[in-house]
A and B are shown apart, each in its own frame.
Chain A
Amino acid sequence: MAEPLQIEVRSLMLSRGGRVLVEDLTLQIPRGQLLVIVGPSGVGKTSLLACLAGLLAAERGSVTYDGRHDASAFRSRLGLVFQHLMLTPNASARTNVLCGRLGQLPWWRTLAGFSQADKARAAEMLAEFELADYAKILVRRLSGGERQRVAIARALIAMPEVVLADEPVSHLDTRLARAVLARLQRETRERGCTVICVLHHEDLAAEFADAVLTLKKDEPAAWTFAEKSS
């Protein structure tokens, strides 16, 4: 893969309900690395991630993608894992995974469904996340952990340049959580993909992250950004 999308944050300010969440954050997201954002609940991790994905407007400052401000031009190059997963409950696990390809295909090519090659790729992804037997099961019949892995597979199927994942292992046991993070880490090592991931487990962050951004409640000045020395 050529150089992945470069995301830069300059003097960013975000607020919610009158409360300032992010203040004067400047950060160059390291390319091809796994950046983990940690911090207590309500500190603004999800808002920051949404802003990086171009889904939340900055109050002040800017987020640029390869030097440009318009996130919509880069949407198909992003893979997103939402905190609330945002899967289609009445569609099968495989269809949900295939939805990750929509951004790269025109509507008329997906109107009658997906190609056999895409379906085979989705089956591979599901197998990778130990969901091979659930391909044709409706997502609403899956457990929280299974749904979460479907959401991760959906984010990865299109081989995005940047993956933004909001608590992607919150419903998983330690073994699966480690497997998923190892898979995300592989994306950075093998494809040079940039992964930005919100995590609650600092031990997992320490184990898998190349860099950690630590947010502290009501103390934007005390935020730290630490790159792991290799």
Chain B
Amino acid sequence: MSRDHPPRLTAFRVTLVVFALAAIFSLPALRGSGRSLDHGANLARFLDRFWPPDFSVLPQIFPALLETFQMAVLATTFSAAVSLVIAVAAAENISPRPIVLTARFALNVIRSIPSLIWALLAVAAFGANSLAGVIGLSIYSVGYLGKFFSDAFESAETGVAEALRATGADAIQGFQYGIWPHARPLVWSQTLWMLEYNVRSAAIVGYVGAGGIGTWLHTYQEYYQWDKFAAVLVCILAVVLVLDFAGSRIRRQFAQ
């Protein structure tokens, strides 16, 4: 009796080889300036300017920090609402093929443009303020949440929705009671992740004038006030850590 051997050319092995070749091909990207520099000493000198952080700026940056958080919350809320609709259109197990392809193409286009560019476009349209930041982040987040949500819908067992439809439920009811309960914990979890991500992004979009704490980062950088810059970074880190801790605890609850 012949034994069946596992195939030698698995998708995993092929991917691994392709990835290794791509890494070798990409090595030229590691080239430096070509000058002989004391990199360690340069870095140490630069970082030395960050220490100690100047927390005297706290009263000044606290409102901006709050604004950053507000921008992130609003952008996440708006994007989650829009993404739910687009994700239904992009889910293969829910929508017809032409709609799926159109929705996925739109999500790909949105995702391929960085949040900073979306913020820049929003600043051009709405002026240098936090509204531009919210709009820029919202558009960018739709690209990600739309993809995440549609994946969550596609991971649901469609047989349940079909079973409900077999006894007269319509498409909306089939989705609400057959697919949504499965996708719901994933959707909440991904929305929370997006909120954390948007807090970090909201801190950056200020660089292009879209409001929030990034405006101060930009200002301190422009005037080489690296100790104040460091204080802002510490504040951002504190907010992100708190959100990360709270987010992971809530996500654990969803998973149960």
Contacts and interface: CB of A to CB of B under 8 A. Distances in A.
Partners in one complex: yes
Interface stretch (A18-26, A81-89, A124-132, A179-187): A81-89
A77 B166 CA distance: 10
A103 B169 CA distance: 4
Contact of B168 (A55, A75, A84, A111): A75
Interface residues of B, number: 20
Contact of B159 (A75, A79, A86, A158): A86
Interface in B158-186: 159-160, 162-170, 172-173, 176-178, 181-182, 184-185
Interface in A83-127: 84, 86-91, 95, 99-100, 102-104, 106-107, 110-111
B166 A91 contact: no
A102 B177 contact: yes
A90 B170 contact: no
Q: Which applies to chain B's interface (DSSP): helix, strand, loop or mixed?
A: helix
B51 to A, nearest CB: 50
Contacts of B168: 75-78, 102-104
Contacts, number: 67
The interface centre, meaning the residue of B176, B181, B182 with most chain A CB atoms within 10 A of its CB, is B181
Contact of A99 (B162, B169, B172, B184): B169
A155 B176 CA distance: 18
B160 A102 contact: no
A37 interface: no
Interface residues of A, number: 30
A87 B160 contact: yes
Given A80-B163, A95-B177, A110-B176, A90 B184 contact: yes
The interface centre, meaning the residue of B159, B166, B170 with most chain A CB atoms within 10 A of its CB, is B166
Interface of A: 53-55, 75-80, 82, 84, 86-91, 95, 99-100, 102-104, 106-107, 110-111, 155, 158, 160
Q: Closest 5 CB pairs between A and B?
A: A103-B168, A76-B168, A86-B163, A102-B169, A75-B168
Interface of B: 159-160, 162-170, 172-173, 176-178, 181-182, 184-185
18 contacts: A53-B166, A54-B166, A75-B165, A75-B168, A78-B166, A78-B167, A86-B159, A88-B160, A89-B181, A90-B181, A91-B181, A95-B177, A102-B177, A106-B170, A107-B172, A110-B173, A158-B167, A160-B167
